[in-house]
Each structure stands twice: as structure tokens, then as C-alpha cells.
């Protein structure tokens, strides 16, 4: 019976997920143009040289932390800023995982990886 309930809940989550509007997109081979250190407690803002999630190349991207715990969230933001700075200084490309949230001044993205 427990297995049936788990399978039923999993099916319900998978059925509802597309309706949530949270689709992830990948952008490979982006070079970091700028990385802002203005507010590294709550978010990191940066620009890349390619189009990401409907945002033009050079438009600011925003990455927010994913934790509800404030110290953990701030650590995530600071480590992402360090990754972006390393990519900028070394010329390495990054992989951006976006979530389709294109705003008028910046786009919110989900994650960044060094490639």
C-alpha cells in the first residue's frame, strides 16, 4: 500500500510540473563579460557574451541562492561569484542553466557551471 501511495504522489508531481512553467534551458560556451560584487549577500549579477533564455547577450543575469537558510544562501552566492570571477580571469567558458525568467532589466537563472 505504501508503494502505491508513493507512486501515486510521484505521478501527480510529474503531471503538475509542466504546468508550473519551470523549464530549464542550457546555454553552453558563454564567456563572462562582467560580474558585479555589489550585493553578494543576496544575489550575484553578471553579463555574458551570448543570448540566454530570451535575454540578449550583454543583458544582466541574476542568480539567487536556493537555500532557505540565510548563511547557506550567502555562501552559495559568494561561491558563485568566485566561480564567475575565475571564469572571467581565465577566459574559460561557463554553462548556464536558465529557468525561462526573462525580466525587463535582468534575467533570473538557476545555476552556473565552469566548463
Number of domains making up the chain: 1
- Within a domain: residue 5? no
N-to-C CA span, the chain: 45
List phi, psi (to 5°) of 21. Answer: 75, 25
pLDDT of the residue at 38: 81
Residues spanned by the domain of 100: 22-114
- Within a domain: residue 49? yes
- Within a domain: residue 2? no
For 15-51, the pLDDT digits (tens) are 444 444 457 788 889 999 999 888 777 889 999 999 8
- Within a domain: residue 16? no
pLDDT of the residue at 41: 79
CATH of the domain at 101: 2.40.50.50
C-alpha cell at 16: 503538475
Number of Cβ within a 10 Å radius of residue 89: 10
Alpha-helix runs per DSSP H in 17-102: 70-90
Task: Please say whether the beta carbons of 53 and 63 come within 8 A.
Answer: no
- Within a domain: residue 73? yes
Distance CA 2, CA 83 (A): 43
**pTM, two decimal places:** 0.74
Amino acid at each position: 500500500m505504501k508503494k502505491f501511495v508513493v507512486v501515486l504522489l510521484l505521478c501527480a508531481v510529474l503531471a503538475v510540473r509542466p504546468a508550473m512553467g519551470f523549464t530549464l534551458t542550457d546555454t553552453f560556451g558563454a564567456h563572462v563579460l562582467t560580474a558585479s560584487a555589489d550585493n553578494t549577500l543576496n544575489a550575484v549579477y553578471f553579463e555574458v557574451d551570448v543570448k540566454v533564455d530570451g535575454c540578449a547577450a550583454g543583458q544582466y543575469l541574476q542568480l539567487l541562492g536556493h537555500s532557505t537558510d540565510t548563511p547557506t544562501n550567502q555562501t552559495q552566492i559568494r561561491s558563485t561569484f568566485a566561480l564567475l570571477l575565475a571564469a572571467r580571469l581565465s577566459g574559460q567558458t561557463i554553462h548556464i542553466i536558465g529557468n525561462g525568467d526573462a525580466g525587463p532589466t535582468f534575467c533570473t537563472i538557476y545555476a552556473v557551471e565552469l566548463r
